[in-house]
Structure 1
Amino acid sequence: MYLFDDRSWRMQVIDLKPHRTGMLLAHHNSRWQFSNEQARSSWKFDAQETTTVSADGQVEVRSEFAGPRGASTAPLHDGTSGPSSVPVRRFSAPVEDFLCPVPEFGEWQVFAPFLAQQGHVPATTVVLSDVSVAEGSGPLRATGIEQLFSPGACDTPDGPAVVEPVDAGLLRITSGQLAVSDPGLVGETPRTVAVPPGEFPVTLSLLRTKRGADVAAAKVTCLDIPPREWEMALLPDEDLGLLGEGQFYGVGVDTGTAAFLDATRTVIEDQLDEDLFIPLDSRFTVELPSTEPEPNLIAFRAGRGDGAYPVWIGRTDDGQVGCVVVDFQLHSAGGE
């Protein structure tokens, strides 16, 4: 929860988490003081107070102050140094002092006590007005996915390019769960999509420019039916409502490589260099085969290298998974 003063300066951030049924605990509370607008815009605070509360009422209060002239005063979470002294107070308090009810949607008055700490006074009436939402606001949208695999010329921020779809083989799914992962991170929680067991073609979208060719996207086709709608592939604890404009949850890439595989497929890390990463130096895609009917793995270069990339599920009219696409965001429809 972010709190602002009457100048619209962000002065406080409160992190709340479930404490017990129907209640929230304000377990982390940071407040700042700034001398002027310039100091606030560059985040040079005069003082920062951070209060941390445990579930059993143990309280820690850290007070950080601006350092000597010329010293950095950015918050510690910015990864810089700066406070000249960090006094810490620890004490016990009734945990009820830091609780508030979980609000039903629209019942934001439960947060009024936190606003009162900033000196705000609740208004007697509040008028809500509908406003138009600009197209494209909110989380990243799946626009132009089909064009990623349509051969032909296109425009990119780096100039003219040509899209070339390339066959990357058949992916064998045995468990009913298709996973998208960095092959070097297969042991971690994968981003999965429920699909029927079977063998499905994998297609790469190569983007050829004057500088060479890169993998712009990769697709597993489960049904030869054009998708009617697209949705972002999410982990169980991910919530689209928490994303800002243009943001997304995606597959993390730490080896410059991504892969499609069955969620039960394992890899031998000691063999990845020889069997996968070194071959990918001269190829766009590599298959780690297996003896049928065991699942295989199809890996490919990530167009932009390390980073995070959205995974899209294309669904048919009746809601079935028609395809799964990982987009490396080298270009989109209309060169946007």
Structure 2
Amino acid sequence: MITDVTYGEGWDAASRTVLGPMNRRRATARDAAGEPYAVVLREEGRPQPVAVLHIAWAHGYFGVWAYDDRGRRTREFDLRRLEPERLFLRHVARWRYDTEDLPEFAEQAGRVRVDLYPDGRGRKVSEPRGSEGGSLRTMADMPEEQRWIPVSEFGAWEWTQALVTDGQFPDALREAPETNPTPLATAFAAANWRPPTPMRPRHLDKMFTPGTRFSPPYDGDAGPYVVQRVIDAEPLRLPTGHVIACDPSWITPGKPFTVAVPPGDYPTQIATAAYASEYEDTPVHIEDYTAARVLISEKPTVAWELALRPGEDPRTLRDGECYGFGVDSGTGCFVDAAAAAQLIGRENALAQEPDPDGILVREDPESGGNLIAYPSGMGDGTYPVWIGRDADGEVTCLVADMLILGHQELLND
């Protein structure tokens, strides 16, 4: 039996059709240029595809969707080209349909999700009964050699057989008959896929502009978020310029960011936003801590990037994901690496009360550094730090985003 190969701009999962069909020559050119395209693999006589491949080398992305003979997705693979000749298996999802009439992604469909990381870590979430039952979270035990797959040349799609089926692909692949290509703009307007897009910063300057209005936190009687206060904390003293963001009550502070700043004392600000609501017919005023920033220079910020620690690779981030610092005590902080060992820890956290604004400052006379702690938005979670740069590429600021206003929309007055 022969498997047909069709190339296109994308794949419409709802209608099971190729969007913007293209010939092999055009697909080869897109592959070489790193531009997105899709590959649909079919078995002769089977209306549903065996697999759909989504490829965008400029983003280091190779995605695989596998289907059963009823057109239901059964497996999904997210591979990243972290090395020129090897793909890293970043994510695997599997769905199990116990009956023939169970719809795709049904709530009661069993599912397993595995996330892997290049440093050897991994986690697995199993839900044998879907959302109707419990879940089991464990470490993902996968040998190193199974986490990496050699990059094959264009058209050699047979290697995906180990991913998408328990059986074997046929030995030969046949190019599907050519069709008239859909114009590029039209195809992309209809295409329903794109390479994974990690979290991007939003409204970082506006968070520190008092009076700026954002959409309400929820539907109902809540009023809009309004930037309420920008609290000037004491300057952050950085004797080495190697900055750490963490929960100040943790046992260990973790590693500093890979981007350092010149040693010095820098203005530090904490921003809040508030909204009006009601509770049992009584008006209430809710104020949230939304962000903290360290101002490194007065030059305008023209670009933002995610602050990273050693071992964190932004190429492994999936849709909406980011690296950040974890919080378990409802408090975050900035501190220099030279002072962190002396200032971080539960005993230190309990030894001093924050000021009326919720800000806590600790000093380390030996290193000359200090720690500035602040309430972390809604409480516990993982929060990104964004690095601002000026037109010359120099660091202008560091902003810890509490992920409150970044999800809201600016309101026009």
TM-score (norm 1): 0.70
How many angstroms does 1:16 deviate by? 8.4
How many angstroms does 1:108 deviate by? 6.7
Distance in 2, Cα, partners of 1:182 & 1:257: 6
Equivalent pair of 2:73/2:104 in contact (CA under 8 Å) = no
- The correspondence for 2:387, drawn from 304, 313, 324, is 313
SS of 1:131 mapped into structure 2: helix
Distance in 2, Cα, partners of 1:123 & 1:78: 44
SS of 2:299 mapped into structure 1: coil
1:163 aligned onto 2:228 = yes
How many angstroms does 1:30 deviate by? 6.2
Distance in 1, Cα, partners of 2:88 & 2:376: 41
Distance in 1, Cα, partners of 2:308 & 2:329: 22
Give the corresponding residue for 1:84: none
Give the corresponding residue for 2:243: 178
Question: CA separation of 1:8/1:231 partners in 2, compared to 1, >3 Å: closer, same or farther?
Answer: farther
Give the corresponding residue for 2:295: 221
**Partner amino acid for 2:410?**
G
How many angstroms does 1:190 deviate by? 3.8
1:253 aligned onto 2:327 = yes
**Partner amino acid for 1:103?**
V
Give the corresponding residue for 1:298: 372
1:124 aligned onto 2:175 = yes
**Partner amino acid for 1:319?**
G
How many angstroms does 1:270 deviate by? 4.7
How many angstroms does 1:257 deviate by? 0.3
Equivalent pair of 2:96/2:109 in contact (CA under 8 Å) = no
Distance in 2, Cα, partners of 1:259 & 1:138: 28
**Partner amino acid for 2:106?**
S
- The correspondence for 2:210, drawn from 127, 131, 151, is 151
**Partner amino acid for 1:177?**
H
Give percent identity, aligned residues only.
27
Distance in 2, Cα, partners of 1:163 & 1:253: 24
Deviations 1:271-305 (A, max 9, x none): 334334xx238532110012265211000001111
1:112 aligned onto 2:160 = yes
**Partner amino acid for 1:258?**
G
Equivalent pair of 1:101/1:110 in contact (CA under 8 Å) = no
Question: CA separation of 1:165/1:118 partners in 2, compared to 1, >3 Å: closer, same or farther?
Answer: farther
1:199 aligned onto 2:275 = no
SS of 1:152 mapped into structure 2: coil
**Partner amino acid for 2:358?**
F
1:140 aligned onto 2:199 = yes
Equivalent pair of 1:23/1:99 in contact (CA under 8 Å) = no
Unaligned runs of 5+ in 1: 51-63, 67-71, 82-94
Q: Which moved more, 1:32-41 or 1:137-146?
A: 32-41
Distance in 1, Cα, partners of 2:305 & 2:318: 16
Matches within 5 A, 1:232-311: 232-264=306-338, 265-266=340-341, 267=343, 269-276=345-352, 279-280=353-354, 282-291=356-365, 293-311=367-385
Kindly report the root-mean-square deviation, in angstroms, between the aligned alpha carbons of the 2 structures: 4.4
Equivalent pair of 1:12/1:32 in contact (CA under 8 Å) = no
Distance in 1, Cα, partners of 2:363 & 2:229: 25
Equivalent pair of 1:17/1:25 in contact (CA under 8 Å) = yes
SS of 1:226 mapped into structure 2: coil
**Partner amino acid for 2:250?**
L
Distance in 2, Cα, partners of 1:258 & 1:108: 49
Q: Which moved more, 1:237-246 or 1:192-201?
A: 237-246
How many angstroms does 1:102 deviate by? 1.6
Give the corresponding residue for 1:41: 106
How many angstroms does 1:329 deviate by? 2.3
Distance in 1, Cα, partners of 2:393 & 2:64: 38
Deviations 1:4-62 (A, max 9, x none): 215553323569899xx967899x996745313348512434x99x9xxxxxxxxxxxx
**Partner amino acid for 2:393?**
G
Question: CA separation of 1:11/1:146 partners in 2, compared to 1, >3 Å: closer, same or farther?
Answer: same
SS of 1:41 mapped into structure 2: coil
Deviations 1:217-237 (A, max 9, x none): 100011111111011112343
- The correspondence for 1:4, drawn from 55, 62, 66, is 66
Unaligned runs of 5+ in 2: 1-62, 115-125, 138-143, 217-221, 277-284
SS of 2:249 mapped into structure 1: helix
Question: CA separation of 1:185/1:107 partners in 2, compared to 1, >3 Å: closer, same or farther?
Answer: farther
Question: CA separation of 1:9/1:237 partners in 2, compared to 1, >3 Å: closer, same or farther?
Answer: farther
Q: Which moved more, 1:204-213 or 1:193-202?
A: 204-213
Matches within 5 A, 1:44-123: 44-45=109-110, 73-74=129-130, 79=135, 101-103=149-151, 109=157, 111-114=159-162, 115=164, 117=166, 122-123=173-174
Question: CA separation of 1:256/1:110 partners in 2, compared to 1, >3 Å: closer, same or farther?
Answer: farther
Equivalent pair of 1:165/1:205 in contact (CA under 8 Å) = yes
